[in-house]
Amino acid sequence: MEPSPLLNDPLRTKGTAFTEAQRREHGLLGLLPHSVTTLDEQVRRSWNEVRRQATDLDRYVYLRSLQDRNENLFYSVLAADVPTALPLVYTPTVAEGCRRFSELWRRPRGLYLSWPDREHLREMLRNRPHSDVDVIVVTDGQRILGIGDQGVGGMGIPVGKLSLYTLIGGIDPARTLPILLDVGTDNADLLDDEFYLGWRHRRIDDEAYVAFVEDIVAAVEDEMPDVLLQWEDFATPHAAPILERYRDRLLTFNDDIQGTAAVALGALQGAAAVAGTRLRDQQVVMLGAGSAGIGVMDMVRQEMIDEGASDDEARAHCWVVDVRGLLTTDRDDLSDDQRAFAHDPSDVSGWGVDGLPGLGDLVEHLDVGVLLGLSTAQGAFTEEIIRTMAAKVDRPIVFPLSNPTSNAEARPADVDDWTDGKALIATGSPFPPLSRDQKGEHADRDIPVAQCNNVYIFPAVGLAVTAARATRVTDAMMRAAARALGDASPALADSHAPLLPAWADVRDVADGIALAVAAQAVADGVAPKADDDELRAAIRRTRWSPGY
């Protein structure tokens, strides 16, 4: 007799938690050690094993292997200590996992849609492990975090993101699907790596690329017409055009553009409230003109308009700087979305700057209240820039948002020191708490640094659209997510508290954000009519929890 496949099914196995009766029923006698353990005992054993690993990468590999063996146990382990688990299964550790993907390969997860197999897209989609899918995360591996083109190694990002959709948003793991578009890689080290598992070829050109993405979208529409498709870590020339091309055709969003913008705006709203100002009255400077930076500024602009500013007034308060300098209308190297934030050269003509103004020039000549960074330029927020800013505003808002930690525009401890503790800080990657050893009310108090991690937003959006049966993701829905996150800021009750909720609370916060997003979907006419009580009930029914 063939042994039951139950033991090796990661979605149904209980491992050593199978009872004696279950072992007899399913033909498992003799296949497990005698002792029957509880899920709690398995969780404690697993955390003990996590702590025994020598490095965070080793911990990442162990947890991914656990996910492959037993998904209920994997998510129970993560849920038992969310603050410790998050950086191990996602940023910053996932960056090294992507870089060494081929070396660390264990077993398949998700779908690899490769250019050489483009004639078989529908067959590949039909080979997905589970037919009913609620959420897809797709990447082409070209712009992974702050480490660039990782080719097939980019699969680590969809796998990691979907783990958080389940952990935070309660999406059933059996109804998620990571997808990697393998269109080659321009990473010479990968092309020369004897162990590289992807298509060993330079990336295909733009015309072929656009056609390939269109074929994939058409196949997804046919095979999974109601699925939420999240675009992740696409390079700037592709990210915004793909979003614009498909946002009114699919239930879809780009997390780097819209998720990053929503979490940053949520933190900004808490910071503005603590600073006693309105966002519309601030001069906001963004260092970085990629898709993420422009996405954040576009949501900031729209929020200023919602606060009562005209479109012209809002744009006049938004300044974007790239590697060349300020975006200005006389530049011929700007994309359409970048050009929307370009200033007329006359706006800075009296500054006496030779060439394009840089970040330091803006801080010198404007009363900059908000300084944001999505440039991956380590240390770009210098002591001189921060001190100049702090001399002009009472509570400077400084967000070095680039990932991973090594690419951050400034270290929070330095910003805190340069501003004598006045700065309101949030980062993109995790940093140690700020120590308070000065005299006064908050002496000897460690203050956690808020991390603008998109995990505050995208799992809640996934939960909302699944529960509400939405057909589109609108800009208003993303701003509703940002406002709900801002409303949950601990700093609103204690100005010395972090700008964003603690990781231990993030799953509860997700339910509130999901309700706000679902209600906005109904208001926008992209989801069936339902009141808040009906939406709350739908969210509860949709939320999956691990257990035996």
List the catalytic residues: 90, 161
d(CA 212, CA 218): 10
CA nearest 431: which of 457, 413, 458, 455? 413
Cis status of the peptide bond prior to 396, with omega within 30 of 0: no
Strand, coil or helix: 214? helix
CB-CB contact of 449 with 436 (8 Å): no
In sequence order, the β-bridge partners of residue 318 are 284
d(CA 161, CA 167): 10
Report DSSP letters for 458-480, one per residue. Answer: HHHHHHHHHHHT-S---HHHHHH
Look up residue 255 and give its amino acid: D
Burial state string for 166-187 with b = 16 or more CB within 10 A and e = fewer than 16: bbbbbbbbbbbbbbbbbbbbeb
Q: Which two tokens stand for residue 113?
A: 């849609």
The residues near 230 (Cβ < 8 Å, ≥ 6 apart) are: 135, 136, 137, 138, 161, 252, 253, 254, 255, 458, 462
d(CA 397, CA 422): 9
User: Tokens 């899918």, residue?
Assistant: 133
User: Tokens 């029914």, residue?
Assistant: 541
Handedness of CA 489, 492, 498, 499 (dihedral sign): positive
User: How far is CA 405 from each of CA 84, 353, 397, 538, rounded to the nearest angstrom?
Assistant: 16, 32, 19, 38
d(CA 325, CA 512): 40
d(CA 37, CA 29): 15
The residues near 8 (Cβ < 8 Å, ≥ 6 apart) are: none
CB-CB contact of 491 with 273 (8 Å): yes
Strand, coil or helix: 299? helix
